[in-house]
Amino acid sequence: MFTIFSKGDTVIQQRLASLKSSIPLTYNDATQYYIDWYINNPDSTAKTLTFWKVYAPIMDKVLKENGQPIELKYLAFALSNMNNQLVTKGSSGVWQMMFDDAKTKYKLKINSLIDERRDIEKCTKAISAYFKDLMLLYNDWYMSMTAYKATPTSLNKSIINSGINMNYWSIYPFLSYENREIVPRFVAAAYIVNFYSSHNIAVQDYEYVYEYDTVKAEQQMSFQSISSALNIPFAQLQFLNPEYKTGVIPYATKNYILRLPKGLSSKYEEKKYSIFSSFVPPAPIITKENISVKKDTAHTSSSTEKFVKVSYKVKSGESLVLVSDYFDCTVKMTKSWNNISAKTSYINPGKILYFMVPTEKKTFYESINYMGLKQKKKLSKRD
C-alpha cells in the first residue's frame, strides 16, 4: 500500500517540476506508483501513446478555444488509455463521460445508432463546459477531476467526512480507491507523455491520419457501401467517424456529417447516389445502456450475428418512432421489415409488427409485449 508522502528529490520529481503546467503536478508515492506502472508496461503504454499522438492536437485546439488549460487532456489519458471504444459502467469514449451527464447536461447525441462521446472534438467541447461548471463549485483542479470521476455528490460526502477540508490531499484518505486514483494517474500521464523516450518506450505512428473533408449525409448509408464505392478501408471510416456505433449513418431532417479522408469529397459527390441505392439496413444490435440485460461485448459488427423474427402488438399511443426504439432499430428498418410505405407516419393500435433481433436476445425482445409503460419508457432514448 502506497502513501501520499513524497520520497524526496528524484530524477522523476525533477522532470515533473520542469513541466510548465497551469494544473499542479504533485509528486508523491501515489503518483510514483502509476508512473512505475506505465514504465513497467511498455507495450501497453506505447499503444496508448500511439493514439495520444493522434488525439492530443485535437484536444489542444478545443481546450484552447474554450479557455481551458491544455494540460486537462492528460485526464483523458488517465481515464481511458486513449481507447475511444472503451465502455464502462455507463461511460464511453476517451473521456469516459457518463451517459446522463453527456446527454442531459451537455447535449451530446446518444441513441441506438450514435454516441457523440466517441467524437473527440464534440466530447472535448462538452468536457470543457463540464469543467467550467466544476471549477465554479470547487475552484481546484484536483477536486474538480475527482468530482468528475466520483460525481460531486460523492466528493461532497468525502469532504464532510474529512472535516470540511477543501485540500485534495487532505481528503484523499476519505475517498474510495476507485475515485482517489484518478489524480495520481493524471500526474503520471503527464509525466509519461513528456518523458516516455527516457524510458526506452518506442511509439509508432498510427496508420491513419486525422485529416478529413466533411460532406452532408443526405440519405441513410453504411460504412460498407462507402468503403466499397470509394475504395476506403472500413477501419479508416470508423476511425474518422467513431460516433456511428453500428457503421450506419442515419438520415434526419438536420443532416448528419460524414468525414472522409482528405481529398475524397469530390469523388463522394460523383458516387453518392450509388452509395445511397446500395444501402441495406443491418439488423439491430442491443446497445441500450439502461436495461438490466447481460451485454455481450464481443459483438463487433452486425454481420457476425444470427437473427430471428419476433412480433410486437402496437399499443394505444405508440408511434413508429417509439416502437422502433424499443427494438433498437430505425423507423426505416421497421417500415422495410413490415412493408410499410415510406410516407406513412401513423400506426394503428393492435397492428402486429415484425422485427429481426439477435437470436440470443430473442426472449428479451419477445418480453417487450408484456412490459408496462414505465418499463418500456426506460428503453426509449431516441432524441
Q: Which residue ranges form the domains of the chain, and what is each CATH number?
A: 11-199 (1.10.530.10), 212-277 (no CATH), 302-379 (3.10.350.10)
Average pLDDT for 311-325: 87
- Reduce the DSSP state of residue 331 to 3 states and report it: helix
pLDDT band at residue 9 under the 50/70/90 scheme: low
CA gap 1, 29 in Å, rounded:
10
Four-residue CA torsion sign, 129, 132, 134, 137: negative
Q: Are 187 and 26 in contact (CB under 8 A)?
A: yes
pLDDT (tens digit per residue) in 114-161: 999 999 999 999 999 999 999 999 999 999 999 999 999 999 999 999
Q: With CA atoms as reference, report the closest residue to 208 among 181, 183, 174, 242.
A: 242
pLDDT (tens digit per residue) in 55-70: 999 999 999 999 999 9
Average pLDDT for 352-366: 84
pTM of the model as a whole? 0.71
Cell for 221?
Answer: 448509408
What does residue 328 show for φ and ψ, rounded to 5 degrees? 55, 45
- At 307, which helix (H) or strand (E)? strand 307-313
- Mean residue pLDDT of the chain comes to 86
Percent of the chain whose pLDDT exceeds 70: 89
Q: With CA atoms as reference, report the closest residue to 253 among 209, 203, 217.
A: 217
Q: With CA atoms as reference, report the closest residue to 305 among 323, 287, 279.
A: 287
- Which pLDDT does position 236 carry in this prediction? 95
